[in-house]
Amino acid sequence: MPNRLAGETSPYLQQHAENPVDWRPWGEEALTLAKREDRPILLSIGYSACHWCHVMAHESFEDAEVAAVMNRLFVNIKVDREERPDLDQIYQTAHQMLTSRAGGWPLTMFLTPDGAPFFGGTYFPKTPRYGLPGFADLCQRVAEAWRDKRGDIAQQNEELLRALKGGSAARPLSGELAAAPLKLAVERAAQAYDPQFGGFGGAPKFPHPADLELLLRRHAATGEVRCGEMALTTLRRMAEGGIYDQLGGGFCRYSVDERWAIPHFEKMLYDNGPLLRLYADAWLISGDPLFKRVAEETAGWVMREMQSPEGGYYSSLDADSEHEEGKFYVWSREEVSRCTTAEEYAVAAAHYGLERPANFEGAHWHLHVALPLAEVAGSLGRPLAECERLLASAREKLFATRERRIRPGRDDKILTSWNALMIEGMAHAGRVLGRDDWLASARRALDFIRREMWKDGRLLATSKDGRAHLNAYLDDYAYLLKAVLELLQAEFDTGLLAFAEALGDALLAHFEDRRRTLSPGPSPASGRGEVLESHSDQTGMGGFWFTSHDHEALIHRVKAGHDSAMPSGNGAAAFALQRLGHVTGETRFLEAADRTLRLYYPDMERQPGGFATLLAALDEAIAPPAIVVLRGPEDQLTEWKRKIAGHYWPWALTLGLPAQAGKLPPALNKPLKEGVNAWVCSGVKCLEPIDDFSCLERVCKTPELI
């Protein structure tokens, strides 16, 4: 008989609906039960594409004896970290504080009935293994500690909650913003850079697209060769590695080795949106056809496998198929040989490393570029063009063969924040590479979000099977605002601009930290235990909470500036609000972005690592972006936009306004003149209209001319 997860929208929760564990979703019913019966909570957080989540489920949660122990001792709550990132952030941080170890998934936390964590870990095996206790035995010991050591647990909880709240009272910068953190960030990146394989640090290696984008921006702005080399080499090595799906396109979440060869095989939407944008820009900068091909194949994968018929993008593909990680993707030599000709096999085997020892479990190979095709051609004594043709033919046959395998599971819920990242990636890459089909895909996804997940001026976080719900988070609004601004560059629409303003106003109204900086003496406390306004000091705290002001009250309210696997919500908000303020001329957006940057500036100045998204916003606060407004006949306007898209000018935001543009804000309300004219403004400085494209090129290439 299904448990209480059967009616949830999350595929991850639904996967546990038939467990003998009496799972409950996070909510008032479960929390009230724990308080009423004075029973601790066993909180398990994971996600659909997580390999070790599946392992723990098969070993323990599907086992009747283990489930009986869990049901007797705890109120058991299952959470999808992708639908509830608010809970995941809180309890991952608590896990790190309690254990002094990094967290991960599955996250296993034991909570008091009021939600305070007192013990935790990640994966636990059913029987003792890997130096870990068996899970049922662990549950017994935790329950005994709850029964016998309540006083110690209460004291520990007090200290933990105090530590969680300890970082929220920083004093913002009162002086001028400066570029010093940008320069220091480049120095720190260079120290961690792996010149042989690209990326930063050793295994495991993650893509970190925000860091790579910052390096490309610095390369373009300053001419620093090493910035371009670090970013482009990393992107090239990733594209040649096994972290990239050499047959089907798209990137896996991370590489377990320093060479990018063997990934953790899950494919996440949130990685691929920013990476798609990056590869389009890398092609603009370098002209390397590898980057263009990767962008084309990744966009193709997204539209083929990850876009719903209704328009929204699905969330992820599992690492596992048939209960084995990577089984869908790996090959034996015999399989490759069977589905290719001898000539095709000779090229593919040399190129993808099939002639070398197996690199995956069970004498299997995971494809990566082991030998450049030019060297393969030389070793085989064949023309390069012929080897390219043979490899393309082999790839088609291998892909067709792979399509007949049992596929990894797909998490088909639609998350607003992750969709926004892909909408931005598709819109940007589509504009750069002139792909109207990619732009159409991005517009379909945005239309879905606006139709299904934008209700009464507020966003919802998740949707599946026609049911959208959950109060949206900072990331949902900030990422979506950035995506809308990107789409406006592809095709201007006054209704879309109005939607961008509505998103910006929602950020300010529902997420901005309105507290004042702390002053001596006591201040009243809010229901969340936060210090309210102190009117003796009128400097606003600034920045944005991860949850809205009317969100469910949790044990801690997160406000963070660091990037994680995804861009910082505060960084994305600051970046997008600045641009929105320059486009509309509305200073409230610029002022909110400035308050955010001032709040985090001292941290960026001390340790810029992990602040790449905020640093990009800082860059544009110091040197405001060039807002390029084009007016003119539609055919000529289209040609100018196409030419502009062929340049890597990250500091420029271009809006091509049609003749009948509708009601425009004063900052954009430029007259129609003969031919195409460009109005270029940066901050409070504006140039005379430019009617010669070569002149516009000189100006945009060198923003100091504005």
| Same domain, residue pair 344 and 385 | yes
Q: What's the CA gap between 130 and 121, in Å, rounded? A: 13
Q: What's the CA gap between 484 and 446, in Å, rounded? A: 8
Residue 658: predicted pLDDT:
87
- Domain assignment of residue 272, yes or no: no
Question: Which pLDDT tens digit goes with each residue over 332-367?
Answer: 999 999 999 999 999 999 999 999 999 999 899 999
Question: Which pLDDT tens digit goes with each residue over 169-218?
Answer: 467 898 999 999 999 999 999 999 999 999 999 999 999 999 999 999 99
| Same domain, residue pair 567 and 660 | no
When the pLDDT of each residue in the chain is averaged and rounded to a whole number, the result is 94
Q: What's the CA gap between 537 and 524, in Å, rounded? A: 15
For residue 58, which amino acid is it? H
| Same domain, residue pair 581 and 695 | no
Q: What's the CA gap between 175 and 226, in Å, rounded? A: 31
Q: What's the CA gap between 294 and 275, in Å, rounded? A: 10
Mean pLDDT of the region 638-667: 93
Instruction: Give the residue among 604, 594, 598, 607 at the shortest CA–CA distance from 683.
Output: 594
Residue 533: predicted pLDDT:
36
Q: What's the CA gap between 485 and 493, in Å, rounded? A: 11
Mean pLDDT of the region 595-607: 96
- Domain assignment of residue 519, yes or no: yes
Contact 540, 514 (CB under 8 A): yes
- Domain assignment of residue 4, yes or no: no
Please report which residue ranges of 546-586 form alpha helices under DSSP H.
569-584
Residue 535: predicted pLDDT:
29
Mean pLDDT of the region 7-34: 97
| Same domain, residue pair 481 and 597 | yes
Q: Which residues of 370-382 are buried (b: 16+ CB within 10 A; e: fewer)?
A: bbebeebbeeeeb
3-class secondary-structure state, position 680:
strand
**DSSP codes of every residue in 44-110:** EEE-TT-HHHHHHIIIIIT-HHHHHHHHHH-EEEEEETTT-HHHHHHHHHHHHHHHSS---SSEEEE
Contact 484, 502 (CB under 8 A): no
Last residue of a domain, one of 165, 192, 227: 165
| Same domain, residue pair 586 and 688 | no
Q: CA distances (Å), 213 to each of 277, 482, 639, 658, in order?
A: 9, 15, 27, 31
DSSP at 516: B
Reported residue count of the chain is: 706
446's tokens: 């945005």
Rounded to 5 degrees, what angle do the CA atoms 48, 462, 77 make?
55
Report CA Rg, the chain: 26
Instruction: Give the residue among 524, 210, 316, 481 at the shortest CA–CA distance from 472.
Output: 481
Domain that holds residue 333: 329-404
Contact 336, 354 (CB under 8 A): yes
Q: What are phi and psi of 375, to 5 degrees?
A: -70, -35
3-class secondary-structure state, position 672:
coil
Question: Which pLDDT tens digit goes with each residue over 533-582?
Answer: 332 233 468 999 999 999 999 999 999 999 999 999 999 999 999 999 99
Give 540's contacts (C-beta < 8 A, 6+ positions apart): 172, 513, 514, 515, 516, 517, 595
Question: Which pLDDT tens digit goes with each residue over 133-167?
Answer: 999 999 999 999 999 999 999 999 999 999 988 75
- Domain assignment of residue 171, yes or no: no
SS (H, E, C) 189-238: HHHHECCCCCCECCCCECCCHHHHHHHHHHHHHHCCHHHHHHHHHHHHHH
3-class secondary-structure state, position 8:
coil
Q: How many domains does the chain have?
A: 4
Cis peptide before 106 (omega within 30 of 0): yes
Separation of first and last alpha carbons in the chain = 69
Q: CA distances (Å), 464 to each of 310, 313, 411, in order?
A: 11, 11, 10
Q: CA distances (Å), 137 to each of 120, 577, 692, in order?
A: 14, 52, 76
Q: What are phi and psi of 41, to 5 degrees?
A: -105, 135
Q: What's the CA gap between 253 and 248, in Å, rounded? A: 15
405's tokens: 């395998």
Q: What's the CA gap between 192 and 199, in Å, rounded? A: 8
Q: Assign residue 109 the CATH number of its domain.
A: 3.40.30.10
Last residue of a domain, one of 347, 377, 404: 404
Q: Assign residue 398 the CATH number of its domain.
A: 1.10.10
Question: Which pLDDT tens digit goes with each residue over 398-449?
Answer: 999 999 999 999 999 999 999 999 999 999 999 999 999 999 999 999 999 9
Query: Reduced to 3 DSSP states, what percent helix, strand and coil does the chain have, rounded to the nearest 5?
Result: 50, 15, 40
Q: What's the CA gap between 107 and 103, in Å, rounded? A: 7
Please report which residue ranges of 460-564 form alpha helices under DSSP H.
474-490, 494-510
| Same domain, residue pair 514 and 582 | yes
Residue 166: predicted pLDDT:
76
Contact 492, 655 (CB under 8 A): yes
| Same domain, residue pair 571 and 481 | yes
- Domain assignment of residue 50, yes or no: yes
Q: Say whether pLDDT at 286 is over 70.
A: yes
| Same domain, residue pair 660 and 550 | no
Question: Which pLDDT tens digit goes with each residue over 684-702?
Answer: 999 999 999 999 999 998 8
Q: What's the CA gap between 173 and 459, in Å, rounded? A: 32
| Same domain, residue pair 684 and 615 | no
Last residue of a domain, one of 147, 165, 183: 165
% of the chain at pLDDT higher than 70? 96
| Same domain, residue pair 546 and 682 | no
Q: What's the CA gap between 370 and 529, in Å, rounded? A: 56
| Same domain, residue pair 19 and 80 | yes
| Same domain, residue pair 76 and 125 | yes
- Domain assignment of residue 44, yes or no: yes
Residue 268's H or E segment, with its range, is: strand 267-268
Q: What are phi and psi of 576, to 5 degrees?
A: -70, -40
- From the CB of residue 600, how many other CB atoms can be counted at a distance below 10 Å? 28
- Domain assignment of residue 440, yes or no: no
Q: Which residues of 335-348 are buried (b: 16+ CB within 10 A; e: fewer)?
A: ebbebbeebbbbbb
- Domain assignment of residue 642, yes or no: yes
